[in-house]
Amino acid sequence: MVGPADCPLRAAMPRFSLPVRHFALAAAAFWAFAFFLFLSHRNLMGFSLDARWVLGCVHLLTLGWLSATILGAMSQMLPVHAGTPLRWPWAPMLGFWVLALGLAVFVGELWSGKERYWLGTAMAGMGMALYLISYAKTLSQARELPFTERHFAAALAFLAALASLGLMLALDRQTGALLPHPEYALIAHVHLALIGWVTLSILGASYRLFYPAAISRASGRRASQTAFFLLALGAAALAVDALCMGLKLARLWSLILAFGYLAYLWQLRHSASKEWRLKDVPTAFSFLGIAGGIVWMGLGLALSFGIIEDRWEARAAYGVCALLGWATPWVIGQSCKIFPFMVWRSAYGEREDAPDYTGAQPKLAWSAFAFLALGWPLAAAGLLAENQAVLTTGLAFVLGCATVYALQSGLWLSHIIKPRTSGS
């Protein structure tokens, strides 16, 4: 029988300072996104739209919140499940600071009104490159690539593509000579990020961290393999179509992506009879993300087939469903398991008198769930209906979620600053 000290999950982990720093940065970036977006709630629709402000907020969410969390989680999960130490750990440690600084510079360039904003993009791209060389080397040294790690490998390839295209978009803003159709290139960039990078990472992690997905693989694997293939194919094909052909086959790729997500849902049917219960915070957030993914899929199909008019507000609602309805619930839910675990291991090691992290402030996490469950549907509905009051209310709830999660993160991190015993 494997004892606590011999647990391979503990033995193979990288330095805890690396993932903990990522989760702390992510919590701060999520709050900053929610605060600044709420601050500009009257500049998100119609003639008052401030596109540069929105672009800065979106990158706080995508780079600072989602990407930082995923990269931090990968620094733990890759060596554990690939069965090999993290290669060149200095690279992601340096990449963390370069990425954080690049994000701050990029957002500052946008919000200060500078016409040239490629410097921050280049710095963020350099940070991503540092992660990629370490994580790719780690995967290449693995004895085998389990299903989760295959998702991560594909996601990292998409990350390299979207970072390169992002830098080209920023440079093209200055030169106008790199991309003949910047609008289509932006669509490619968005979907490389939302589906190729974020979604494949989330689904891959779900087969390890989300119990219904994990046990469903024991009953059959064809649906999960189909989902992986269709989502990767759809994301890559849509990006190539946007860059080279002006989205002539957008409807086909939207159908392929929808079938990919439906295949993932079909995979979960094996666990539906026993495991579909809101028994804890991570599970509740995961189901909220699944519901958000269904709405995102439906809205994407409606836009591509012309059922809903393709206007800025509809595209913004599409982004809200993807980022706040689909990705953010998954990230918060699984962070409620991973983040305190890493903090406790950093603060207490094998101490027997350590407080129990599994019950750390559950009421706060449930409050964050309630805020988000109300916030993203109202924000998306407000954009679609062009109703300022509904949009503002939704963004206020999202800010509430981000504030509660930031407070929860601070309480976890306080154990590193001031360790305590189980009786204190």
Residue-wise pLDDT tens digits, 273-300: 555 566 788 889 999 999 999 999 999 9
Burial 95-125 (b: 16+ CB within 10 A, else e): bbebbbebbbbbbebbbeeeeebbebbbbbb
Q: Give the number of domains in the chain.
A: 2
- The answer to whether residue 235 is domain-embedded is no
pLDDT value of residue 362:
66
Domain boundary among 123, 144, 165: 144
List all residues 6 or more positions away from 314 whose beta carbon is below 8 Å from its beta carbon: 299, 303, 308, 383, 384
Q: Report the distance separating Cα 255 and Cα 118, nearest Å.
A: 34
Share of the chain above pLDDT 70, in %: 90
The answer to whether the CB of 404 falls within 8 A of the CB of 366 is no
Q: What is the 3-state secondary structure (H, E, C) of 69-103?
A: HHHHHHHHHHHHHHCCCCCCCHHHHHHHHHHHHHH
Dihedral angle, C-alpha 291, 293, 294, 296, nearest 10 °: 130
- The answer to whether residue 37 is domain-embedded is yes
- Structure tokens that stand for 138 in this block: 């780690």
- The answer to whether residue 240 is domain-embedded is no
Q: Report the distance separating Cα 56 and Cα 40, nearest Å.
A: 12
The answer to whether the CB of 103 falls within 8 A of the CB of 60 is yes
Q: How many CA atoms lie within 13 A of 363 on its CB side?
A: 0
Q: Which of 165, 134, 173 is nearest to 14 (CA)?
A: 134
Q: Report the distance separating Cα 104 and Cα 125, nearest Å.
A: 13
Q: Output the CA torsion sign for 58, 131, 194, 407.
A: negative
Q: Report the distance separating Cα 231 and Cα 264, nearest Å.
A: 10
Q: 114: left (phi > 0), else alpha (psi -120 to 50), else beta? A: beta
Q: Report the distance separating Cα 324 and Cα 401, nearest Å.
A: 11
| pLDDT string in tens for the chain (424-residue length) | 233 333 333 433 333 578 899 999 999 999 999 999 999 999 898 888 899 999 999 999 999 999 999 999 999 889 887 788 888 999 999 999 999 999 999 999 999 988 788 899 999 999 999 999 999 999 998 888 889 999 999 999 999 999 999 999 988 887 777 788 889 999 999 999 999 999 999 999 999 988 888 888 777 789 999 999 999 999 999 999 999 998 999 999 999 999 999 999 999 887 655 555 667 888 899 999 999 999 999 999 999 999 999 999 999 999 999 999 999 999 999 998 888 888 887 777 766 667 766 555 567 889 999 999 999 999 999 999 999 999 999 999 999 999 999 999 998 888 888 877 665 5
Radius of gyration from C-alpha coordinates of the chain: 21
Following DSSP, what letter does each residue of 190-203 receive, concatenated? HHIIIIIIIIHHHH
pLDDT value of residue 145:
84
- Structure tokens that stand for 369 in this block: 């769930």
pLDDT value of residue 424:
54
- The answer to whether residue 353 is domain-embedded is yes
State the CB neighbour count (10 A cutoff) for residue 151: 26
Q: Which pTM was predicted?
A: 0.92
Q: Which domain holds residue 339?
A: 277-424
pLDDT value of residue 280:
82
Determine the residue type at 326: W
Q: Which residue has the tokens 């990629």?
A: 132
Dmax over CA atoms of the chain, in Å, equals 66
- The answer to whether residue 345 is domain-embedded is yes
- The answer to whether residue 230 is domain-embedded is no
Domain boundary among 129, 144, 159: 144
- The answer to whether residue 325 is domain-embedded is yes
- The answer to whether residue 154 is domain-embedded is no
List all residues 6 or more positions away from 10 whose beta carbon is below 8 Å from its beta carbon: 4, 345
Domain boundary among 87, 113, 144: 144
Q: Report the distance separating Cα 214 and Cα 267, nearest Å.
A: 10
The answer to whether the CB of 191 falls within 8 A of the CB of 234 is no
